[in-house]
Amino acid sequence: MAPATGAVMAGPQIGQAPECGLRDAAAAACEAKALRQAESALAAARQGAAQAIAAPDERFESDERKEWRSAFDATMTLWLRFRDARCDKRLIGYEMAGTAAPAFNDASACTLAITRVIAEDVSFRYALGTAEHPRESATRALVVVPNPASDEEGPCADVDPGECDYCGANRCWEKRLVLADRDLNRAWARALQAIRERPGLPVDQRIDWIARLRAAQRAWLAWRDAECALEPWETPNRFAHSIYATLIAPCLEGETLARISDLSASYRLGDR
């Protein structure tokens, strides 16, 4: 994803929080400070993005900039909603007790990691001057399919265009997304099965675990769809024929693969 142009303020200094050490009162205070810093960086990044969206640009009428800002704000709200559901203390606690290598060490680490990802992503996309690379996932650095840098790259770039410029590429991506959704559904079913098969877990806790995981999954899905629909606004021409093949579909696939990786790490699906 290319950063948007028109930023009018310096970006937040995101950086990395210091290692907070063992799980004690001092470590908790250290983590709380790191989270405050990350939240401050995120607030600054959102302010910078809002100013970039509002900046005069001959490509956008005033009402279009308002629509873009509305889509941006809605996406940020959904991302934070996913963060809070993904980092729910009870959900993280279940995952930590049920796996040898949980995705996150605790709820605080989860919240901090995702807050940083959001701040860094906004900073990169709106050219605020502090982040050099786009995110790899909604939660943390995972190996996913990157967005093509142009319509001449990517797994569907060399297909027969068919009856129109991007008809062939679009059909290629549609097939890839069907496969990605199939793999996600399989990972989801295996994660639920892992919960159901967890030995020694009381029925009420098993039900609660599944309910919290479902809430996180629904929040992620709403965020993914809004996020990938937002990206065309951040390009020179959101009506270009190449938008679906070079932005929307790769975004949907990449985030889906990242979510599969998150479920796999959290529920040890590779061991099943």
Per-block mean pLDDT, blocks of 10 residues, the chain (272 long): 39 45 69 91 95 88 93 98 96 80 76 92 88 77 50 73 80 95 97 93 95 98 96 88 90 92 88 60
For 64, the token pair is 């279009």
Q: What pLDDT does 6 receive? A: 38
The single residue listed with the structure tokens 């400070």 is: 33
Q: What pLDDT does 7 receive? A: 34
CA angle in degrees (0–180, nearest 5) for 118-60-70: 40
Q: What pLDDT does 191 receive? A: 96
CA angle in degrees (0–180, nearest 5) for 69-70-72: 60
d(CA 179, CA 173): 10
For 254, the token pair is 């990449």
Q: Is the dihedral of CA 20, 117, 218, 263 positive or negative?
A: negative
Q: Is 98 helix (H, G, I), strand (E, B) or coil?
A: helix
- DSSP string of 3-22? PPS---SPPP----PPP--S
Q: What is the pTM (predicted TM-score) of this model?
A: 0.85
d(CA 234, CA 219): 23
Length of the chain, in residues: 272
Q: Are 124 and 131 in contact (CB under 8 A)?
A: yes
Structural domain spans, the chain: 25-271
Q: What pLDDT does 103 receive? A: 65
Helix and strand counts by DSSP (H, E) for the chain: 8, 0
Q: Are 170 and 243 in contact (CB under 8 A)?
A: no
d(CA 224, CA 155): 21
Q: What pLDDT does 129 receive? A: 78
